[in-house]
A = this chain, B = another copy of it.
Amino acid sequence: MRILVINVNTTASMTRAIGAQAVAAASSDTEITAATPRFGPASVESIFESHLAAVGVIDCAQRQAEGHDAVILAGFGELGREALQEMLDIPVIDITEAAAHVACLLGKSFGVVTTTDRAIPAIEDRLLIDGLRSRCVGVRAVERPVLEIGDDLALTVDEIVRVGSGLIHDEGAEALCLGCAGMAGLSQRVSDVLHVPVVDGVAAAVRLAESVHHLGLRTSKIRFYAPSPDKAIAGWRFIPSAGDETSGDG
């Protein structure tokens, strides 16, 4: 099968890291396409940026989803999954929900380690809407900007361990989710220290996308995710029609 993994930000090096993590997690017969939106923020660290990123992701999916069997939204706690589910016939998995679903299979409760304190309410809201909040004992932040996560991985691991340890001992978390696509690849190192399952959202999403695809299941189209009505979109340049892929930039 072919999975399109869409990074929510426009930093190509982060797309590459996410893609590598997806490939590492995927079955051997799964082909991964890692895509970067044509526009949007270099990292997504605010609500404003999450909105811009969501339309970048929508644009990216419109242009690139064809030929794939599933799409992954690779932004932890970010907006846009429901729009993709509405827009596409193939399954769409958000790394936030993927991490939480998998964590529920492994521990009685889980915690989330994310980047910055200001991102916490958005993650909590996503879990609440997705009906996954009752087993989440807390979301805590390492207080590092997204784009610095990869600068010094040893330091990042140390910080995730420190924050994760608090979730385990203060809040009773039995499993952890890494709450940033930029933390992809660090789960094993954190788990080695903390001795709890540590779930990487990108990896989890790849396996769940495979699962849903091979089960022959697709998004329900009878109500919330029914196709959007066909309608004039005034002044909207970057949603190109087929064969017009430069109009958004031009």
Query: Interface of A with B (CB < 8 Å)?
Result: 10, 25, 27, 38-43, 45-52, 54-55, 58, 79-80, 82-83, 85-87, 91, 93, 97, 101-102, 104-109, 117-118, 120-122, 125, 128-135, 145, 168, 172, 174-175, 188, 195-197, 199-200, 203-204, 207-208, 210-212, 214-229, 231-239, 248-249
Pair B211/A102 contact, Cβ less than 8 Å: yes
The answer to whether A217 and B106 touch across the interface, beta carbons within 8 angstroms, is yes
Question: With A45-B228, A219-B197 in contact, is A40–B233 under 8 Å at CB?
Answer: yes
Q: Is the CB of A104 within 8 A of B128?
A: no
Could you name 12 residue pairs across A and B whose Cβ atoms are closer than 8 Å? A27-B27, A40-B233, A47-B85, A49-B228, A51-B55, A52-B236, A102-B212, A106-B212, A106-B220, A131-B132, A174-B223, A237-B248
Q: Is the CB of B91 within 8 A of A233?
A: no
Min Cβ gap A210→B in Å is 7
Note all chain B residues with C-beta closer than 8 A to A195.
Answer: 221-222
Nearest-neighbor residue (CB-CB) of A213 within chain B: B207
Which residue of B49, B128, B228, B248 contacts A235 across the interface (Cβ within 8 Å)? B248
Question: CB-CB < 8 A to A228: which residues of B?
Answer: 45-49
Chain B residues in 8 Å Cβ range of A235? 10, 38-40, 238, 248-249
B residues near A122, Cβ cutoff 8 Å: 224
Q: Which residues of B contact A227 (CB under 8 A)?
A: 46
